[in-house]
Amino acid sequence: MNGYNDKLNTKSQHSETIALLIDLVQRASVTPADEGCQKLIANRLQPLGFSIEHMRFGDVDNLWARLGTDEPVLVFAGHTDVVPVGNEADWTNPPFSATIEDGHLCGRGAADMKGSVAAMVTAMERFVASGQPMQGSLAILLTSDEEGPAVNGTKKVVEALHSRNEAIHYCVVGEPTSVNQLGDTIKNGRRGSLSAKLVVHGKQGHVAYPHLADNPVHKAFKFLDELVCIKWDEGDENFPATTLQISNIAAGTGAGNVIPGSLTVDFNLRFSPAITSKQIQEQVDQLIGKHGIAADIKWNESAAPFLTPTGSLTDAMRQAIGSVVNVESTLDTGGGTSDGRFIAKSCAQVIEFGPLNATIHQTNERISCDDIDSLSIIYEKLLEIILNTSES
Ligand SMILES: [Zn+2]
């Protein structure tokens, strides 16, 4: 225990990991800005022998740093960008001050996910400095476009690595996955995300003369009621059942005496591998046909589901967590999408593990300093288990 107390703010009083975290949080790297976070990390890893590649795509900075040429390749992945702070006046401390209070470091990105990034970097530094034999390669992939469109970030780096046949065998994404205590939850997959924008066409007219109009709102009622009641699948032992939520309905001209000409509905499905995006689309098309409504629908599949079955990486992570914080971890596939979806396309074992997610994206985002120090030791332990085979 490091015993972080109130307002300790000189760097000498902090662990290496917390000192790095303070430096990272003080950089206002709202997507897609990186504000030098990746350069700072590259400058620390290069002297250890890492080969450094800054991959900039569009307005997005990405870093690929690798030590070694052998296989297997273990990758830590994460992001240096953060979401906007919202109303700055609502924060107890300025969001980029990285103030430490009650043993917690407060600031935008402290939990999501600069805490994990700092822990990964110092874990790699200690692992390399220990001089233990390494069987395989160690790398870190960082992007400044995880919280935004996620077009020029991890996706492009993975494509670049794939095009030159550079394989990834194990990947740990540092998203904040812990729920009640550090170590309680590892994510070993994520559901897919499929969005739709549906326009139901009718004919505009006077409400007093409905026989001369065709009301798309009335037509949509029964269809939408049936749509939200569909049981898509049962899920399986790894995934909850697929769900659909309507996020918006819009119609109307603003006048109370006008039947609108069209109605627009936005909905999103979080789907398990028990069903495909194509099957969902076909089922919705059938329902539109059944209700005889004139409609256009635009689909956008932003994420396919992925699953890493229980295996060497999940076992190693559980072992590392157990040895440092003595917590039994649960494997989980809930929550939103993450960059794990891009890496899973070319890497069989992708998991996510990081600190508590209770305050992510919120005002007064904060993270326990002791947890981040423990997280760094857990990551280091994982490196020993996977890469130092003489240990295991
Ligand atoms: Zn994140």
The CA 176 to ligand 1 mean position distance, Å, reads 7
pLDDT range class, residue 266, cuts 50, 70, 90: very high
Structure confidence by residue, pLDDT tens digits, 229-257: 999 999 888 999 999 999 999 999 999 99
The CA 187 to ligand 1 mean position distance, Å, reads 13
Q: Which of 35, 61, 81, 112 is catalytic?
A: 81
Confirm whether 166 is a catalytic residue: no
Mean pLDDT, residues 1-5 taken together:
48
Confirm whether 81 is a catalytic residue: yes
- The residue type of 286 is Q
Does position 4 have pLDDT exceeding 80, yes or no?
no
The CA 290 to ligand 1 mean position distance, Å, reads 41
The CA 72 to ligand 1 mean position distance, Å, reads 26
Percent of the chain clearing pLDDT 70 (strictly above): 96
The predicted pLDDT at position 11 comes to 46
The CA 30 to ligand 1 mean position distance, Å, reads 12
Fold equal for 11-190+305-387 and 192-303: no
Q: Where are the alpha helices (DSSP H) in the chain?
A: 16-25, 37-45, 115-129, 154-163, 216-229, 277-290, 312-325, 340-343, 369-387
Mean pLDDT, residues 56-70 taken together:
97
Paired sense of beta strands 262-271 and 243-251, if any: antiparallel
Mean pLDDT, residues 82-101 taken together:
96
Question: Which H helix or E strand runs over 248?
Answer: strand 243-251
| Backbone phi, psi, residue 332, to 5° | -145, 150
Q: Tell me the pLDDT of the chain averaged across its residues.
A: 94
The CA 112 to ligand 1 mean position distance, Å, reads 5
The predicted pLDDT at position 337 comes to 86
Distances (CA, A) of 212 to 216, 250, 258, 382: 13, 22, 12, 70
Whether the CB-CB separation of 333 and 307 falls below 8 Å is answered with yes
Mean pLDDT, residues 97-112 taken together:
97
Tokens of 105: 């470091």
CA dihedral of 339, 340, 341, 347, whole degrees rounded to 10: 130
The CA 115 to ligand 1 mean position distance, Å, reads 10
Domain at 11-190+305-387: CATH code: 3.40.630.10
The predicted pLDDT at position 12 comes to 54
| Backbone phi, psi, residue 268, to 5° | -135, 140
Mean pLDDT, residues 30-43 taken together:
98
Distance CA 193, CA 270 (A): 5
Pick from 325, 382, 355, 372: which is nearest to 186 by CA?
A: 355
Pick from 138, 109, 135, 108: which is nearest to 121 by CA?
A: 138
What are the residue boundaries of the structural domains of the chain, listed by start? 11-190+305-387, 192-303
User: Cis (ω within 30 of 0) for the bond into 309?
Assistant: no
Percent of the chain clearing pLDDT 90 (strictly above): 90
Q: Which of 146, 147, 365, 371 is catalytic?
A: 146
The CA 147 to ligand 1 mean position distance, Å, reads 7
The CA 368 to ligand 1 mean position distance, Å, reads 17
The predicted pLDDT at position 336 comes to 85
Pick from 8, 134, 18: which is nearest to 73 by CA?
A: 134
- From 3.30.365.10, 3.40.50.300, 3.30.70.360, 3.60.20.10, which CATH number describes the 192-303 domain? 3.30.70.360
